[in-house]
Amino acid sequence: MKGGLAVMIELAHYWADLRTSSVPYDLALLFFPREELPATENPLPALFESLPGLGGAELAILLEPTDGAIHAGCLGHLHARVVVEGRSAHSARPWQGVNAIELALERLAPIAAVKPREVEIDGLRFVEVLTLTEIHGGIAPNVVPDRVEATISYRYAPDRTPEEAEAELRRLAGDAKLEIVGNGAAGRVVVHAPLVERLAQAGDLRFEAKQAWTNVADFTSRGVDAVNLGPGMTSSVHSPDERVEVASLVRTYEALRRFLHGIA
């Protein structure tokens, strides 16, 4: 993301130095924080309310790491918590209690067994995945546990609405107590819009599916066409060798500069 910010700052310097009125677009640069935090921390909904003109944009380009491609759309993200309750007892007499860990293993098994689901939209392949990301439980080494909490990350494809995704997860959870922590809608897939096609031509860019949630969804859910395009390698994101190459910074900058001048 810092690589994307660097490109935006360089574009701002370039735009400020222009002494021509021949550019075909009106450029606005939007810098905002907290893009990796839960939906309750997302600053964009309030920004749309305070700046109604933002919803009239023709195209939003989010500078997410995309390996030098245009990533269209994005997965939705449903973050949920499963609570399994039992009854504590001494571990020497487990029949006097109800082991919440054993119950959790039984009730979470159908969720853990869900296979990835592939969805093709406008020729792009999205992979819907359901992942158990956290589990907490237990009182002491000699006590039958009475409570287990597990966290689920459901990355659902753009062919599902948030309501449909929640209904599917509740079906899978069965009798388990399910609490929805957050549910960010998937981003609409924008490939054939004229400005997006011009962007692809300006940078000789290929199209891919965005296999994650991004703030593209904030724009497309409000009727604004939006895509992801930014420097950086998705394979190194959140890894010890996370980095961005200078050549990738330059390539993204040049693609956007050419696009803003209407150069194909």
How do beta strands 60-62 and 226-228 pair?
Answer: parallel
Instruction: Please state the pTM of the whole predicted model.
Output: 0.87
Question: Which residues have a Cβ under 8 Å from the Cβ of 128 and sit 6 or more positions away?
Answer: 75, 116, 117, 118, 119, 155, 156, 157, 160
Query: Token digits for 160?
Result: 């599902």
Rounded-to-integer distance, Cα 259 and Cα 122, Å: 23
Q: Please give the pLDDT value at position 138.
A: 95
Q: Please give the pLDDT value at position 180.
A: 94
Q: Which residues of 185-205 are buried (b: 16+ CB within 10 A; e: fewer)?
A: bbbbbbbeeeebebbbebbeb
Rg (CA), the chain: 23
Helix (H), strand (E) at residue 225: none
Q: Please give the pLDDT value at position 21.
A: 61
Q: Please give the pLDDT value at position 135.
A: 96
pLDDT along the chain (264 residues), means of 10: 91 80 80 78 87 88 92 96 95 96 93 95 97 96 96 97 96 88 94 95 95 94 95 79 87 93 73
